[in-house]
Structure 1
Amino acid sequence: MAKKSRNRPEEPLPLYDGKVVGPREPCPCGSGKRYKVCHGVPGATTFVKRPFAGLPQECDLVAMRELVPSATAPLTIKGHEDRTVLLASLLPLAAPAMARDSGQVWAGLQVQHSFGDPSREVAAALLLALQAEESGIVGMLEAPGPGPRLQDIVVNETIDVTVHDGFEFWIGDVEDRTGLEDALQQANEAATPTARLTGVEAAYWTNVGSKEHLRWVMPEPEDELLTALARLHVTRADVIVPGARFVGMFRALGLLAPVWDLPVGTGAEALEEPAAAFKVALDAALADGSDLTPEERSARAGLANRQVTIR
């Protein structure tokens, strides 16, 4: 019997979104592991690079999952139009979903598990909570398996995101709040002040104490967005407000989220007009089909090296 060649190249393995990745390449989920021992393991849950694509306010959903400490958005679920359903950035105990005593059903985006497709996981938790006969937490200790995703069950044409100062919404439908104050205070103290800008989509100001930031999740394809940002960087048109500094980007759930450091004391309101003006300049740069100058190519390479992946 002939021996198998040890030098035979391994075949790339397909991903859910139609792209391929080699077994020895880093897993696209951001775990730091090689693909063959992460989402490339036979039987592993398929990794979806852009899980919220096709949903209204995809960029805001990414922000709620990755960047915003406390936010909610009401959902209307197919077949359950009469139920009050709330999607939250974070629920108590980082629960995937909850069937509430009030009859409401909540789902959380920031959870402790990660099986490769947040859209499928949130949908599965929501449906379990909607079918629950008693109130309580819906857990998820293993991948949910085949089934509908949020894109299949959400009927909203728009999703209205509300950013909260803390987590008081956790007890908004609770009549007896005895014994809940301490846990709520602890959660509130851990939440950094955050506000969503109203004039542009999915741009969030936050105050982390020693600094303020603007973090803006953008829907454009990565290559096109990097090129446009490089054009603006060379002309310093990426300075949102005086004293601000464009510091790089997060890569989160298939989208880029540029980040600016802001002077302390800037606040969210002062960003509204500058952010709207920047969006106009960015759209013009995205429409510019001319070749990059040497300075712009250098800036683009520098921006590409300043990306951090959020799982």
Structure 2
Amino acid sequence: MGKSKRNSPKPGGNRAERLAERRAALEQAAQTNTRPFEGLAAECDLVALREFVPSATAELPLVPGVAAERPVVLATVLPGAVSALVRAGEPPTGYVGVQVQHQGADPGADLAAGILWTQSAEPGDSLSSVESVAGGPRLADVIDPAAALDLTVHQDFDWWVPEGVDPDPQVAATIEQAKQAIMPSARLALGAETVGAAWWVDAGDKAHIRWVRPEDEDALMLALARLHANGGLHLGEGSRFAGSFRTHGLLVPVFDLDPEQHPDELVAPAIEFDARLAEALASDEPTTAAERRSRDGLRSRQVTLR
């Protein structure tokens, strides 16, 4: 007969270890900044770039005193998903990525730390990961909080290699592989009167609009429910509201679209939707039974990205 397993360690460690792990997880969750880009004019675009935009760049509007005559470019993802790197040139250029291998508790503060690192690092250096310290600079301390991002959306990753430089075969193969997997994307140019950031993507069998919104989630959900109950929750003929997800403290409504439509064709319907939504947000009318049912149905289709 085999020996008794009464005193053998149980899978997952003993009770004290499991409690310690649970406490550590709760402490980490408590330290996480659930809305890391709040207060920035670029908040909605920063969320989009971090969560679902494949390839885009923008030179950051640094506040006076931060840059040592060295510009910094924000990128969706850098080679190897590193946090930052410095590219040689006159002057050298810093790059910081928002889609990284290792995520800290406050992505905004981590970005600030990466930006500051680029100002003193040597050309050719890269930073695999960065984690901000408590009480350190916030992103709003490093970039102009009132400035929007002047984005360039790419349909490939050729910008990973400086112009005029021949990449080594391994890098070239990586870029080609990424190019084959990328989904065409575009930011809808809706004008200054619209709110949030609406991003189009061609997913093959269908296209989508993912519209990052800055409003309070409960108020936005009620406004969406009012539109749904009245038949106004759409982006024109052939579109369908698919649901919503929340990430970094914001709600992102998603619409399914006809993949044959060009993004420019969606601009007018999107502006009209934004106007309907603004009217619904401003309404103080009591909710109807149909609107309450719509809100319950819309909430049941929500997911949260962490």
Relative to the length of structure 2, the TM-score reads: 0.85
RMSD of aligned Cα (Å): 2.0
Residue 240 of structure 1 corresponds to 235
Determine the C-alpha separation between the residues in 2 that align with 1:268 and 1:35. Answer: 46
Does the alignment pair 1:177 with 2:160?
Answer: no
Residue 162 of structure 1 corresponds to 152
Determine the C-alpha separation between the residues in 2 that align with 1:235 and 1:88. Answer: 40
1:181-216 Cα distance to aligned partner (Å, 9 max, x none): 222111111211101100144101101112111110
Determine the C-alpha separation between the residues in 1 that align with 2:53 and 2:22. Answer: 29
* Mapping of residues 122-133 of structure 1, within 5 Å: 122-133=111-122
Residue 150 of structure 1 corresponds to 139
Determine the C-alpha separation between the residues in 1 that align with 2:105 and 2:78. Answer: 20
Determine the C-alpha separation between the residues in 2 that align with 1:126 and 1:153. Answer: 8
Does the alignment pair 1:285 with 2:280?
Answer: yes
Superposed displacement of residue 178, structure 1: 4.3
- 2:102 pairs, out of 113, 117, 122, with 113
Q: Aligned pair count?
A: 276
Instruction: Assess if the C-alpha contact under 8 Å between 1:206 and 1:213 holds in 2.
Output: yes
> What letter matches 1:216 in structure 2?
W
Query: 1 or 2, which has the higher helix percentage?
Result: 2
Determine the C-alpha separation between the residues in 1 that align with 2:244 and 2:260. Answer: 22
Residue 58 of structure 1 corresponds to 43
Residue 192 of structure 1 corresponds to 183
Residue 95 of structure 1 corresponds to 82
Determine the C-alpha separation between the residues in 1 that align with 2:157 and 2:111. Answer: 20
- 1:75 pairs, out of 60, 71, 89, with 60
C-alpha spacing 1:47/1:303, structure 2 compared with 1 (3 Å): same
> What letter matches 1:217 in structure 2?
V
Determine the C-alpha separation between the residues in 2 that align with 1:174 and 1:226. Answer: 50
Unmatched 5+ stretches in structure 2: 1-18
Name the SS for the 1:291 alignment partner. coil
Unmatched 5+ stretches in structure 1: 1-23, 25-33
- 1:254 pairs, out of 249, 252, 256, with 249
> What letter matches 1:56 in structure 2?
A
1:112-147 Cα distance to aligned partner (Å, 9 max, x none): 21221100111112212221134221122x733231
Superposed displacement of residue 266, structure 1: 1.9
Superposed displacement of residue 242, structure 1: 1.4
Determine the C-alpha separation between the residues in 2 that align with 1:132 and 1:278. Answer: 46
Name the SS for the 1:184 alignment partner. helix
- Could you list the structure 1 runs, at least 4 aligned residues long, displaced by more than 6 angstroms after superposition: none
Relative to the length of structure 1, the TM-score reads: 0.83
Superposed displacement of residue 271, structure 1: 0.7
Percent identity between the two aligned chains: 41
